[in-house]
Amino acid sequence: MPERPDLEYVVPILRGALRGRVLSTPRVRKPVVLRALAADLVGPVHDVERRGHTVVLSIADRELIVSPMLAGRFQLVPPGAKDPADLALAWPVTGGGGEPAELRYRDDVQMGKVYWVARGELPAGVPPVGLDVLGPAFTIPALSAILKPRREQVKIVLMDKSVLDAMGNAYADEVLWEAGVHPKLPAYKLTLPQVASLHAAIIQVLGHARDEIRRRAPPLDEKLRDFLHVRGKVGPCDRCGTKLRTLGVRGHDAYFCPQCQSEGAKVGIVDWRKTPSGG
């Protein structure tokens, strides 16, 4: 999915292009993503913001909330540009003194959702926004208080958007690798030094990713992940040279280094350092 670093790049671009302009009735190519009538999704755009893992357009007294989920992405194109195969919705954009344009929401797996709600309303299926991990309230004691009562594996807690405004699958893997914490370690078992390492890793990884994406300024619909150390990689660990492995964590896959993330790796009856495939 687009994660926090991706959206922190995308949202300012959308804000600059759409604020003060008018969205007209969208063309609908994949109606399964809609949780509203397409004819309602119109009006002058007052603002665009990131709220957790959603993009929120303020229109009059309502909000157009796009939850991109696994594969959703945005695109701004001139009117009449050829439709891509994964086009879900396309809004004509006019007014505000700018050239006519089209805002596109693309989603090749159609898991994303588009909501139209009263301002401040939280749609069913969209979690509340958790603690801002790049803000001053995110401290080691705050993270410890979140982890201590949780019996789930630590990767699942990191991906819980109702407690941490941070990450999905890819950046959870990257954070755990940076911190040297095994993804299957139960959250409540983390020692204070491990919590401190995890806290530092969250800030470092997400901050670096945000800055790197901004620096490279990719097209709006391109998701940059080639600078990550573990997610999607099959070769040796960048830190120690050990072969990276994958395993399942509550329906999610996890990439990790069995050497760098070996502490606490014996979970249940399995020692992940000794498995031939890590699966």
The tens digit of pLDDT for each residue in 38-79 reads: 999 999 999 999 999 999 999 989 999 999 998 999 999 999
CATH superfamily of 4-118: MutM-like, N-terminal (3.20.190.10)
| Whole-number average pLDDT of the chain | 92
Same CATH topology for 4-118 and 131-271?
no
| Residue 274, pLDDT score | 58
Total-model pTM: 0.91
| Residue 57, pLDDT score | 98
Task: Check residues 81 and 1 and name the one with the higher pLDDT.
Answer: 81
- 163 is written with which tokens? 């407690």
- What secondary structure letter does DSSP report for 279? -
pLDDT bucket at 28, cuts 50 / 70 / 90? very high
Domain coordinates in residue numbering, the chain: 4-118, 131-271
Give the CATH architecture of domain 131-271.
Answer: Orthogonal Bundle (1.10)
What whole-number distance in Å separates Cα of residue 90 and Cα of residue 111?
17
What is the average per-residue pLDDT within 87-102? Answer: 96
Give the pLDDT confidence of 206-241 residue by residue, as tens digits. 999 999 999 999 999 999 999 999 999 989 999 999
Give the pLDDT confidence of 98-135 residue by residue, as tens digits. 999 999 999 999 999 999 999 989 998 899 999 999 99
Task: Using alpha carbons, select from 43, 38, 35 the residue that is nearest to residue 59.
Answer: 43
For residue 276, pLDDT over 90 is answered with no
